[in-house]
Amino acid sequence: MKKKLQTLLLLLGITVFSVIQLWAQTNTCPVPAGLTSSNITHNSATVSWGAVTGAAGYTVQYKPVTVLSWLTLNVSANTANLTGLLANTTYEYKVRTVCIATSSPNTTVVSDYSPASQFTTLAPPPCPVPTGLVSSNITQNSATVSWAAVSGAVGYTVQYKTAAATTWTTISVTTNSANLTGLLAGTAYQWKVRTVCVAETAGTPVFTVIFHR
């Protein structure tokens, strides 16, 4: 009786092992290979890899190389657009495959992540200096100053002062004009403007415009 029980347990163990081995063989999910990066700008990049036969999707993780935590993106094709990146920064990314288990259509299995690959974003584009400065609507104590709008600008910094002063008054605006108030009557003023871009601020221009009332 004892021998029969041992034989039964042995056969059961072999059966369980065979089932596990069969499940593993029929539910493998290949690791993506051939990682490449393209279309790299100062704040975005496209990453791609070789398509895996039978893949239901992919999980992409990416981060700056100096950061510990990963950002995760799920995609259905073998490419992903990474946006909102930092300029002039080296990123690393890795990908894993999501498969449908052949032994259980309602179950997904995932591969290991691929070895990480890297790319470096470009330096930010230059922030143009404003041009076409104009003074208008000049009264005894106010004036409107304006300039040509700069594409991509998020705002502008205007500085103005009397021609004899050494200290500038600074104001920030979001459009390509500013109203200067509290001015002195019969006084010559100088003003200048610079562009504020997302990534950087342009240097202060050397030209000035003088207006007086």
Phi, psi torsion values for 142, nearest 5 degrees: -155, 165
Q: Which domains does the chain have, with CATH numbers?
A: 29-120 (2.60.40.10), 134-211 (2.60.40.10)
The secondary element (H helix, E strand) that includes residue 20 is: helix 2-26
Distance CA 85, CA 48 (A): 17
Instruction: Read off the pLDDT of residues 93-117 as tens digits, 9 standing for 90 and up.
Output: 999 999 988 766 678 899 999 999 9
Listed range (142-156, 184-198, 199-213) with the worst mean pLDDT: 199-213
Instruction: Read off the pLDDT of residues 137-169 as tens digits, 9 standing for 90 and up.
Output: 999 999 999 999 998 888 999 999 999 999 999
Q: Which residues of 26-37 are buried (b: 16+ CB within 10 A; e: fewer)?
A: ebebebbeebeb
Question: 169-176 long-range contacts, Cβ below 8 Å, gap at least 24?
Answer: 172/196, 175/149, 176/130, 176/146, 176/147, 176/148, 176/149, 176/150
Identify the residue with better confidence: 206 or 176.
176
Distance CA 127, CA 154 (A): 10
